[in-house]
Structure 1
Amino acid sequence: MINQGDPFEGLYIVHCGMLKQSYQRRYDELITHFFLPGDVIGLDAIGYRCYAGTVATVETSGLRLIPFRCIEDLSSPEARLKELICCLSEAMHDEHTRLWQILNQPSDVKVAGFFITMSYKFRNQGCSPHSFRLPMSRQEIANYLCMASETACRIIKRFQKQGLLSARGHEYCILDPEGLTSIAEQ
């Protein structure tokens, strides 16, 4: 797929499935993004002309490459260009929101925010915002949220006991969206 440091070819639009982007540090890997249908891969590579992280599938996925030269060739504000700008804007907003959630937030706020964000993404795809399947492991979720795997698992179990969330394997159901949102907004 895409490896950290590969030359920038263009943007990829996710049509189906889920992918993750990770950044290889000296001794470990840091997951920096999960991509769902409708997301754009490669936004962080435009300025430096190389991909910042490795992108791998979490489950079977479908992508469409938009070569950057095609984007550069658009000289008039056509519908596709407007759609791309809207998509770029949404991606930047989502990433800023995620960074705000990660920095200096208690672990339970991070986990609640993660599930609320996933709910929002599934709703925008026309799927159920309350019941969904996340193919990534809990260890990958914890890595993405910059916390220990044990901590993420403990918080998910606590949310289950509180009646906020049900979790069976990769299947999640938000039972109390208002309660989870109130934790995420602390």
Structure 2
Amino acid sequence: GGREGSLIDEAGEVRLIDGVGGKDQGGGGERRLIDRGEESSLIDGGGEERFIDGGGEERLHDGGEEGRLIDGGEEERLIDGGGEGRLIDGGREERLHDGGEEGRLIDGGGEGRFINRGGEERLIDGDGEGRLINGGREGRLIDGGQEERLIDGGGEGRPIDGGGRPRLINFPGGMIMSDF
């Protein structure tokens, strides 16, 4: 019931709600939920939340500073109105709706969609072809298909590839292409 609470379980349903005093509802600093069952839910308005599940359907609703959802199921949804929202999924369909400052979508499935109205936009797709749509200050493209991975946000970019052909796209410092 302290500041940090963690729960690891492989049963059918797992729920973790941690706050000061160990009550059912609390506003602690950090929460983590790790579950491989069928359904898991974590609802929190604290500072940081993490939800990891490999079941059929997961949902994360967060109005705090940061919300993360990591899942390999069929359908995931991340709804965040705070400063940062992240959605990482290798399933069939992913959607990310974010009205904050930063939004990220990482998808290795058939279709990836990214909608952001803030200052920074990112689209990350690993299905054979990677696309980057950026209307703000910084753009990043990470692709895990035939073109492996590219992570860059500053003046210098480094491609990391173990597959076919890496590409490097750097918006803050211009454009750099690498074929090694």
Q: Is the helix fraction higher in 1 or 2?
A: 1
User: Does TM, scored on the shorter chain, surpass 0.5?
Assistant: no
TM-score (norm 2): 0.25
Q: Is the strand fraction higher in 1 or 2?
A: 2
> RCO (CA 8 Å, sep 6+): is it higher in 1 or 2?
1
TM-score (norm 1): 0.24
